[in-house]
Structure 1
Amino acid sequence: ADTMVAISGIYVSVVIVEYVDGSLGISARSDGTVNVQIIMEELGGGGHQTVAGVQLDNKRAVDIMPQIISLAKKQLEEIDNNESDLIARY
């Protein structure tokens, strides 16, 4: 996750590991544009704005991925809307 977010143009990266016991380990990183702590808290985890994670029991990556993508898109849309409002004021 750290390496991916270091790539130019990548704002957030999320790595999901499915363990043989049926649990998931999710690690999220951000360049500061997206608050991954909020995303991981929505899933029951936590962390920091740029480094966060969660462990989930009895979940599949394919079921969690759409939720993570939706939460990240929501933050990016809010950022876009706030920037538009700031520009409109000047």
Structure 2
Amino acid sequence: MNNPKSMVLGWVSLIAVAGVSFYFAKQNINERRRQQDIAGERPSVKIDWKERIARDEAQTEQASREGLHSRPNPVRGSLISSSKDDAT
């Protein structure tokens, strides 16, 4: 069952399947990025996570001032409560 020939065959097939999966996933990601570039949805500058959070919060505040509903932030969901909420 675990002779060297079957182990090599198993590892080679695993590596081959992983390589093919990576190739097709990379093609899909590159195509999606290309479509976002054409549509103008992809930002041209790289920003770090702090700047991205600040920009998302500013957009959320602006949308709430305008009376629009924005998408909820998955990081700051309703499961997290502050001490102010607990005190009242």
- TM-score, normalization by structure 2: 0.35
Higher-RCO chain (CA-CA 8 Å, sequence separation at least 6): 1
Larger radius of gyration: 2
Counting strand residues as a fraction of each chain, which structure ranks higher? 1
